[in-house]
């Protein structure tokens, strides 16, 4: 993970989509099929990169600057309910 991060930080052309990896996604997705279903829908409908963090406590979508975060938030809440926690954050490169 540290080597992947160092490579990404050192190459300002490397896309953020190349950075994340989670070996726990497959078992969690088998146990909770709602997770991969929504993430696939977000990928197909919005063209974003999606994934799961840690052991499944949170999922994420990497949006381009031009993406409509409100539409994606609405889709998540439609699928998982109005109480679904959604947080918008930005990834910034620093050397």
Name the H helices within the chain: 2-10, 25-31, 34-46, 69-80
Please state whether beta strands 58-62 and 49-53 pair in parallel, antiparallel, or not at all (unpaired): antiparallel
How confident is the model at residue 78, as a pLDDT? 95
Q: What are phi and psi of 20, to 5 degrees?
A: -75, 150
pLDDT one digit per residue (tens) for the chain, 95 residues: 677 777 777 777 777 666 667 778 888 889 989 889 999 999 999 999 898 887 777 888 988 888 889 999 999 999 999 999 999 888 776 65
Distance CA 12, CA 41 (A): 29
pTM over 0.85: no
């Amino acid at each position: 993970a540290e080597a992947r991060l160092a490579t990404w930080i050192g190459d300002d052309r490397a896309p953020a989509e190349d950075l994340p990896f989670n070996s726990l996604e497959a078992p969690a997705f088998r146990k909770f099929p709602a997770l991969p279903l929504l993430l696939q829908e977000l990928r197909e409908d919005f063209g974003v990169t999606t994934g799961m963090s840690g052991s499944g406590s949170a999922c994420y979508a990497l949006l381009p600057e031009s993406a409509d975060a409100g539409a994606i938030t609405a889709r998540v809440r439609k699928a998982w309910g109005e109480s679904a926690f959604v947080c918008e954050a930005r990834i910034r490169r620093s050397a």
